A and B are shown apart, each in its own frame.
Chain A
Amino acid sequence: MKSDIRIALVGNPNTGKSTLFNVLTGLNQKIGNFPGVTIDKKLGYCTLPDGRTAEIIDLPGTYSLYPKSRDEAIVFSVLADRHNELTPDLVVIILDATNLKRNLLLYTQVADLKIPVVIALNMMDMAKKADITIDVNAFAQKLGVPVVPISARKIAGIENLKQTIAYANKIPLQQDSIDVEAIAPQLISRIKAEINTDNTYFALQLAHQHETLKFLTAGQSNTIEELEKEFGFHSQKAQATETIARYNYINDLLYDTVQKSATAEDETMSNKIDKVLTHKVFGFIIFFGILLFIFQSIFAWSAYPMSLITDGFVWLQTALHQYLPAGPLTNLLVDGVVAGLSGVMVFIPQIAILFAFISILEDTGYMSRVTFMMDKIMRKVGLNGKSVVPLIGGFACAVPSIMSTRTIENWKDRMITILVTPLITCSARLPVYTLLISLVVPNKNVWWIFNMQGLALTAMYMFSMVSAVVVAWVFKYILKARERGYFIMELPVYRTPRWNNVLHSMYDRAKTFVFEAGKVIVAVSIILWVLASYGPGNQFNKIDQKYKQLQVAQAIPADSLNRMIASEKLENSYAGMLGHVIEPAIKPLGFDWKIGIALITSFAAREVFVGTMATMYSVNGNAEKMESVQQKMHSARNAETGQPVFTLAVAMSLMMFYAFAMQCASTVAVVYRETKNWRWPAIQFAYMTVLAYVASFITYHLLK
């Protein structure tokens, strides 16, 4: 979309920045990527009162221009790089009126970059409630910039803000805040000359951040490095001096523009809630209650839409097969592409529900309390308080859970969380486990109430949690930390969730998943489909011929004949050949080539195992016919020894394999999408496969 003016939205976290963004742009948003990094770039469009279109970019929330995470680093590079396609014409900086002091630090930094600024003074209603009076006019006059009081939640003052944006000056008019030059006078003037800029604060920021800025050439960066050495510049000391100077300026500024009533000592509502929610006993009970509820809801609420999506695609496939001319192209479209799409779409309900909950937890401020409560335990195993939610979400599906790790600022903690989340028993493992458990575990009760099969399933769930914790603990020592781990986090006051934001978050995440991970999943499905439906030479023709003769000779019903053909074709397909090829490798685990084929096809998704087993044992394959699959597998005998194929040892070994192996193309795709580096999914795939192999090997040989 063409725009007449580019606006950047800047502000502290928890100031209602995304609410304002949603209010300004409505559904007119798009999500992209900042060049070269994983951070989502949120763009939106807004029509100004004078008819012009403004392009608004929502920059990550930050407390200062000195970044503490890679998300935060984006803010400075977008604002400062004059030759960037994203460089804003105007910055709208959002300040929380209830907490002006800390919010103004970022303002003074941005203002010193000399970009035209408009202040949106948010949460004016809350400030009034807290008896904070702000003399907006005096405030605006002292700063030299327009100040618009708004309340983004109540959509108050928005028209006024748009009006102000439309008539904002094209040149920066803000007053200087502090004497930046005094921090490092010689160095700054040399950098100014070297980089050819006249902005003092930009020059100082370059001295601090030149190593990580992409818009500087290597030569420029080296020159700055040498200059720093020449003048003995100490980044942290300079930053400390600057911060103190800025707060002195802010204190002066607030002294006669903001009045706080003395009764602020009263216990706030938020504090009362915290007494219960972070209580030693109730805190944990409530937290686990909420997790259980989320977990249950993802299972229960997504079941209906998921079956609707599956049924819809099955109907579509049947319809396409009917109306399109039969042939390899149709088969590719219907059984490869459409089936792959169905595999992508089926995740949408779970992703949407998990993200609805996560955005409610974040919006209300409860998520930071969870982090606060769980940090100590999680830190011990190399994780972070914020890892709790992705790990629990992993019980439903690793895909949305890995997407939700973005809230973890610390790189190492986030990586470990991503690496171990797929170990948690997800819903796709459930059909595999149920099938195998019902095959070898007797359906008997022990101690009256506990069903043995149920116990076995519970054991698999517990086992997955233990293995995730152990693996995380191991990775804690393997991965090198990129930054010093610390935990300085704002605990925002409790608020009611903004349903508009919840809907936006559901929509955003589902869309990102479909378009980013979807590509890989569809590609993998097509490859697997080709492998499973084509074979070398004219094997397939021979099979068709053979069964034609059989039918003539013995008059077998068409239904079972088709199943026999499918079974034999799968055996002779490329996938079947691969099954034979890998047989020597999986023989020590107790698997034969038939299981090998199922392992290959179920790489698309674990639950495909059941379907493949059905085809292999020529049953009409779908999950509802599980009992017949079970019978066939039960009576399956080894052709050479005459022994049953699925002994306790084999079934347990298979379960161990599925517990550890990364048998999920979607997870691989989403890990790639979240880390933007093929190394991570590769490492994850490798370590999980090795673990799976070792665990299966041990299990098989112990039980054999």
Chain B
Amino acid sequence: MYLPAFYKKLQIDTFFLFGFNLNKVYICAVIKHQMKLSQLKVGEKGTVKEFTDLEMSVKLMEMGCLPGEVIKVERIAPLGDPIAINVAGYQLSLRKREASTIILQ
């Protein structure tokens, strides 16, 4: 498994590990990666964790995209945007910009 895919699986964006053998100091930086709905590929699933935009979240929640719901990306429009997702048993389409306000677990 090549490293970026490994990071993604760990939901980690960057991973620094510096070792200084002489003074025995290790610097370790882990930046937690926030997985967004817009980053899922067709067929992939994710569970809604939170939203980055209040106004959008209200609209999305009304349509059934609530924290805890499992979302599956069904297809991406031929020109790359919008996307179609399956949530709560039906299909919903939204633009990538809107999908990027949904943070997955």
Give A residues with C-beta under 8 Å from B: 63-64, 66, 68, 98-99, 101-102, 105, 236-237, 239-240, 243-244, 247, 260, 264, 270-271, 274-275, 278-280, 283-284, 368, 371-373, 375-377, 484, 486-493
Contact = CB atoms under 8 A, between A and B. Distances in A.
B59 A373 contact: no
Given A486-B56, A488-B98, A376 B79 contact: yes
A279 to B, nearest CB: 7
A487 B78 contact: no
Contacts of B67: 244
Contacts of A101: 64, 88-89
Contacts of A270: 91
Interface string B56-85: 111111111011000000110111111010
B54 A488 contact: no
A280 B60 contact: no
A237 B54 contact: yes
B78 A271 contact: no
A375 B77 contact: yes
Contact of A375 (B56, B74, B82): B82
A236 B58 contact: yes
B90 A373 contact: no
B77 A373 contact: yes
A137 B22 CA distance: 76
30 contacts: A63-B62, A64-B62, A66-B58, A99-B88, A99-B89, A101-B89, A102-B64, A239-B58, A240-B54, A243-B66, A244-B67, A247-B61, A274-B74, A274-B84, A275-B75, A283-B78, A372-B82, A375-B77, A376-B77, A376-B81, A376-B82, A484-B55, A486-B59, A486-B94, A487-B94, A488-B60, A489-B92, A490-B90, A491-B90, A493-B90
A375 B81 contact: yes
A491 B92 contact: yes
A213 B62 CA distance: 21
Given A278-B75, A376-B82, A491 B93 contact: yes
B58 A240 contact: yes
B78 A279 contact: yes
Contacts of A488: 59-60, 63, 92-94, 98
A363 to B, nearest CB: 17
Q: Nearest 8 pairs between A and B by C-beta?
A: A491-B91, A376-B79, A280-B78, A102-B64, A243-B61, A64-B62, A487-B95, A376-B81
Contacts of A63: 62-63
Nearest to B91: A491
Interface string B18-59: 000000000000000000000000000000000000111111
Contacts of B56: 486
A377 B84 CA distance: 17
Most chain A CB atoms below 10 A, which of B55, B88, B90, B95: B90
A527 B63 CA distance: 52
Contacts, number: 108
Contacts of B94: 486-489
Contacts of B62: 63-64, 66, 105, 243
Nearest to B99: A488
Contacts of A244: 61, 66-67
Most chain B CB atoms below 10 A, which of A243, A274, A279, A284: A243
A490 B63 contact: yes
A278 B55 CA distance: 30
Nearest to B76: A278
A64 B89 CA distance: 18
Most chain B CB atoms below 10 A, which of A239, A284, A372, A487: A372
Given A368-B93, A486-B59, A487-B82, A236 B54 contact: yes
Contact of B77 (A99, A372, A492): A372
B64 A236 contact: no
B77 A278 contact: yes
A341 B84 CA distance: 47
A68 B59 contact: yes
Given A99-B89, A489-B92, 4 more contacts: A278-B77, A279-B78, A484-B55, A486-B98
A274 B66 contact: no
B89 A236 contact: no
Contacts of B57: 240
Most chain A CB atoms below 10 A, which of B75, B91, B92: B91
A270 B84 CA distance: 13
A489 B93 contact: yes
B58 A373 contact: no
Nearest to A279: B78
B1 to A, nearest CB: 27
Nearest to B66: A247
A487 B98 contact: yes
Nearest to A484: B55
B63 to A, nearest CB: 6
Nearest to A106: B62
Contacts of A275: 75
Nearest to A487: B95
B73 to A, nearest CB: 13
B84 to A, nearest CB: 6
Contacts of B92: 488-491
Contact of B90 (A68, A99, A487): A99
A244 B62 CA distance: 9
A139 B32 CA distance: 44
B49 to A, nearest CB: 14
A66 B57 CA distance: 14
A275 B64 CA distance: 24
A486 B100 CA distance: 13
B54 A490 contact: no
Nearest to A240: B58
A273 B103 CA distance: 30
Contacts of A368: 93
A618 B104 CA distance: 76
Given A240-B54, A375-B77, A376-B82, A487 B63 contact: no
A244 B69 CA distance: 12
Given A68-B59, A243-B61, A244-B66, A490 B91 contact: yes
B79 A102 contact: no
A264 B94 CA distance: 23
A372 B84 contact: yes
B75 A377 contact: no
B93 A372 contact: yes
A373 B79 contact: yes
Contacts of B93: 368, 371-372, 487-491
B77 A102 contact: no
Contact of A102 (B54, B63, B81): B63
A68 B60 CA distance: 12
A278 B82 CA distance: 12
Contacts of B59: 68, 486, 488
A187 B78 CA distance: 49
Contact of B78 (A98, A278, A489): A278
Contacts of B91: 270, 490-493
A102 B61 contact: no
Contacts of A98: 89-90
A280 B79 CA distance: 8
A84 B8 CA distance: 57
Contacts of B80: 376
B51 to A, nearest CB: 9
Contacts of A278: 75, 77-78
